[in-house]
Amino acid sequence: METTVTVKMVITEDIIAQLNEYFKSKGTVICFVKGDNCVNITIKDMYLDFINVYPNKQFYSDLEKFLEEKGVYGINYNNTKSCFWKFGYSGYRD
Protein backbone atom coordinates (compact mmCIF):
# COMPACT_ATOMS: atom_id res chain seq x y z
CA MET A 1 0.00 0.00 0.00
CA GLU A 2 1.37 3.40 -1.01
CA THR A 3 0.46 6.72 0.57
CA THR A 4 0.48 9.86 -1.56
CA VAL A 5 0.65 13.25 0.13
CA THR A 6 0.33 16.57 -1.67
CA VAL A 7 0.80 20.10 -0.41
CA LYS A 8 -1.73 22.60 -1.70
CA MET A 9 -2.87 26.15 -1.12
CA VAL A 10 -5.74 26.16 1.37
CA ILE A 11 -7.04 29.56 0.22
CA THR A 12 -9.06 28.71 -2.88
CA GLU A 13 -10.15 30.97 -5.72
CA ASP A 14 -13.67 30.80 -4.28
CA ILE A 15 -12.43 32.16 -0.94
CA ILE A 16 -10.53 34.90 -2.78
CA ALA A 17 -13.71 35.88 -4.64
CA GLN A 18 -15.61 35.98 -1.34
CA LEU A 19 -12.84 38.11 0.21
CA ASN A 20 -13.11 40.57 -2.66
CA GLU A 21 -16.89 40.81 -2.27
CA TYR A 22 -16.62 41.21 1.52
CA PHE A 23 -14.05 44.01 1.38
CA LYS A 24 -15.85 45.70 -1.53
CA SER A 25 -19.01 45.78 0.61
CA LYS A 26 -16.98 47.56 3.30
CA GLY A 27 -16.19 50.32 0.79
CA THR A 28 -12.46 49.71 0.35
CA VAL A 29 -10.52 49.70 -2.93
CA ILE A 30 -8.19 46.98 -1.66
CA CYS A 31 -8.55 43.66 -3.46
CA PHE A 32 -7.02 40.21 -3.47
CA VAL A 33 -5.29 38.58 -6.44
CA LYS A 34 -4.08 34.99 -6.56
CA GLY A 35 -0.34 34.81 -7.12
CA ASP A 36 1.90 31.81 -7.77
CA ASN A 37 2.11 30.68 -4.14
CA CYS A 38 0.26 33.40 -2.27
CA VAL A 39 -2.63 35.86 -2.31
CA ASN A 40 -1.52 39.41 -3.09
CA ILE A 41 -3.10 42.40 -1.35
CA THR A 42 -3.34 45.15 -3.94
CA ILE A 43 -5.46 47.73 -5.74
CA LYS A 44 -6.81 46.98 -9.22
CA ASP A 45 -7.12 49.84 -11.65
CA MET A 46 -6.93 50.04 -15.44
CA TYR A 47 -3.95 52.41 -15.12
CA LEU A 48 -1.96 50.29 -12.66
CA ASP A 49 -0.08 47.12 -13.47
CA PHE A 50 0.38 46.22 -9.83
CA ILE A 51 0.73 48.12 -6.58
CA ASN A 52 1.63 47.02 -3.07
CA VAL A 53 -0.50 48.49 -0.32
CA TYR A 54 0.16 48.64 3.40
CA PRO A 55 -3.15 48.38 5.27
CA ASN A 56 -3.66 49.16 8.94
CA LYS A 57 -4.10 46.72 11.83
CA GLN A 58 -7.90 46.77 11.51
CA PHE A 59 -7.62 45.45 7.94
CA TYR A 60 -5.50 42.48 9.03
CA SER A 61 -7.84 41.80 11.94
CA ASP A 62 -10.86 41.78 9.58
CA LEU A 63 -8.98 39.61 7.07
CA GLU A 64 -7.99 37.01 9.64
CA LYS A 65 -11.48 36.95 11.18
CA PHE A 66 -13.05 36.43 7.74
CA LEU A 67 -10.66 33.58 6.92
CA GLU A 68 -11.18 31.93 10.29
CA GLU A 69 -14.94 31.95 9.64
CA LYS A 70 -14.09 30.01 6.44
CA GLY A 71 -11.98 27.52 8.42
CA VAL A 72 -8.59 28.98 7.46
CA TYR A 73 -6.46 29.55 10.57
CA GLY A 74 -2.90 30.73 11.04
CA ILE A 75 -2.13 32.39 7.71
CA ASN A 76 1.43 33.43 6.96
CA TYR A 77 2.54 36.79 5.57
CA ASN A 78 5.63 37.91 3.72
CA ASN A 79 7.90 40.42 5.49
CA THR A 80 5.91 43.46 4.28
CA LYS A 81 2.48 41.82 4.78
CA SER A 82 1.63 42.55 1.14
CA CYS A 83 0.74 38.90 0.50
CA PHE A 84 -0.34 35.88 2.53
CA TRP A 85 -0.71 32.14 2.19
CA LYS A 86 -1.75 28.98 3.94
CA PHE A 87 -0.72 25.55 2.75
CA GLY A 88 -2.21 22.26 3.84
CA TYR A 89 -1.74 18.61 3.16
CA SER A 90 -4.00 16.10 1.55
CA GLY A 91 -3.28 12.45 1.13
CA TYR A 92 -4.68 9.11 0.22
CA ARG A 93 -3.63 5.46 0.19
CA ASP A 94 -3.54 3.27 -2.87
What's the pLDDT tens digit per position in 71-83?
999 999 999 999 9
Annotated domain spans of the chain: 3-93
User: Is the full-model pTM beyond 0.85?
Assistant: no
How far CA 90 is from CA of 3, 10, 25, 38, 93, in Å, comes to: 10, 10, 33, 18, 11
Beta-ladder partners of 84? 39, 77
d(CA 29, CA 20) in angstroms, rounded, equals 9
| Phi and psi angles of residue 36, each rounded to the nearest 5 degrees, phi first | -65, -50
At residue 70 the predicted structure's pLDDT band, cuts being 50, 70 and 90, is very high
